[in-house]
Structure 1
Amino acid sequence: MKKPKKLKNETALLKKAIEVGEKYAMNRGYNGFSATNASKDKVESLYRLLVNDKLIQASPADGEDLLSMKHRLAMWIAKQLPEDHPLLK
């Protein structure tokens, strides 16, 4: 499988996606993440929640790795932000 094209500011977008995703998860009844949860665990949990809620499309089974999950989360938040948001410039 080919590597997804990296977005401009993808790392910052991922950080924002995790922040917004955590709030979304808590609104859905999730107790939240503790400070000891690893970033990769947060990414996978949020990715699976958003796929389950049909807010993002799942990666093909053979391409479902941490890198593609991070990319999908970054793309998701990029679509949620207003066009003039600093992270999209």
Structure 2
Amino acid sequence: MKKLKNETELLREALRIGAVYAQKRGAGEFEAADSAHDKVTFLYRLLVRDKLIQPLAKDQVSDPNMKHKLALWMSRQLPDDHPLNKT
């Protein structure tokens, strides 16, 4: 798994956009008291359930791998000329 250049910022943006997506979909919303791990897990599972991302293999499901998947998802949602997609 090759780390993306702006992976932390992409993950932060994925959580922001994912929260809006989950709320509009009626799946729930993030609370201020929710941990980062809970947010990542919830959003990862929601996107897998909605078939917006391909699930990780069962033995590969971990916090770093889910974060990477969310960052990849976000990088694909942004336009090519977006600052977070610059390499």
Query: Which residue does the alignment assign to 1:35?
Result: 32
1:18 to 15, 19, 23: 15
Question: 1:44 & 1:77 partners in 2: Cα distance?
Answer: 15
CA distance in 1, matches of 2:2, 2:56: 14
1:36 counterpart SS class:
coil
Q: Does 1:76 align with 2:73?
A: yes
Partner of 1:58: 55
- Structure 1 stretch displaced more, 29-38 or 18-27: 29-38
1:31-55 deviations in whole A, cap 9, x for unaligned?
3111000011000000000000000
- TM-score (norm. length: structure 1): 0.94
- Give identity over the alignment, percent: 53
Structure 1 moving runs of 4+ over 4 Å? none
Gaps spanning 5+ residues in structure 2: where?
none
Distance in 1 (alpha carbons) for counterparts of 2:70 and 2:64: 10
Task: Give 1:79 deviation, angstroms.
Answer: 0.3
The gaps in structure 1 that reach 5 residues or longer are none
